[in-house]
Chains A and B, each alone.
Chain A
Amino acid sequence: AQKITQTQPGMFVQEKEAVTLDCTYDTSDPSYGLFWYKQPSSGEMIFLIYQGSYDQQNATEGRYSLNFQKARKSANLVISASQLGDSAMYFCAMREDAQGGSEKLVFGKGTKLTVNP
């Protein structure tokens, strides 16, 4: 089974509107971390936001927030007030903390976001 599922291959949003990128995950580990990364066409991976499984509050970083629904195993990224520069691939990733000491991340297939003027 896929550990990280991103069901939206592509999303479109109008500039200045909000957009939600979906991510569901699968783990039996009670301790884990969820990450979102942005990858523009230039190729670099830019860290956006982190949510720990035991964090009480949903994570927020500027215009990015993570809608963490633990029971549903979902960790959707919300981008408010979209900008043209937000056009990029977005990857959701998970680190399972009981995987024999390995800190590796498992990534989803990504969602390509296009912001229209």
Chain B
Amino acid sequence: GAGVSQSPRYKVAKRGQDVALRCDPISGHVSLFWYQQALGQGPEFLTYFQNEAQLDKSGLPSDRFFAERPEGSVSTLKIQRTQQEDSAVYLCASSLVWGRDHHFGDGTRLSIL
């Protein structure tokens, strides 16, 4: 496809379960980002990849959050032992290196019961 693709669009999990969120960036985009957006707030940075290298993970809120991009294209954000405060929309974005825009996917809305 032409845009950033995220799956699933919606995910409901019970507290304590592990979840995996997928992002398929625009072809050729070297940079990939994950953001977390709580209801009524602006997106908050989680982590950043350039190709397969995770250059910045300063925004990951705890060691329960883990992201990978093993072949420099598709990325997965994994959350272990989910908690209610993890409920949010998780946005993935991609861009050319130091590009003039981030192209965002439609997000995954995660609800933890």
Interface residues on B, range: 20 to 34
Encoded as 1 (CB less than 8 Å from any B CB) or 0, chain A from 77 to 109 comes to 000000000000001010001001111111111
Which residues in B have their C-beta under 8 angstroms from that of A107? 42-44
Interface residues on A, range: 20 to 34
Does A45 reach chain B (CB closer than 8 Å)?
Answer: yes
The residue in chain A whose Cβ has the minimal distance to the Cβ of B34 is: A104
For residue B49, give the distance in angstroms from its CB to the closest CB of chain A: 10
Question: In the complex, are the beta carbons of A45 and B91 less than 8 A apart?
Answer: yes
Does B22 reach chain A (CB closer than 8 Å)?
Answer: no
- Mark A residues whose CB is within 8 Å of B: 4, 33, 35, 37, 43-47, 50, 52, 91, 93, 97, 100-110
Question: In the complex, are the beta carbons of B43 and A103 less than 8 A apart?
Answer: no
Question: In the complex, are the beta carbons of A50 and B101 less than 8 A apart?
Answer: yes
Q: Assuming A45-B102, A103-B31, what are 19 further A-B pairs, CB within 8 angstroms?
A: A4-B42, A33-B100, A45-B43, A45-B91, A45-B93, A45-B104, A47-B102, A47-B104, A50-B101, A52-B100, A91-B43, A100-B56, A102-B55, A102-B58, A103-B50, A103-B97, A104-B48, A104-B56, A109-B41
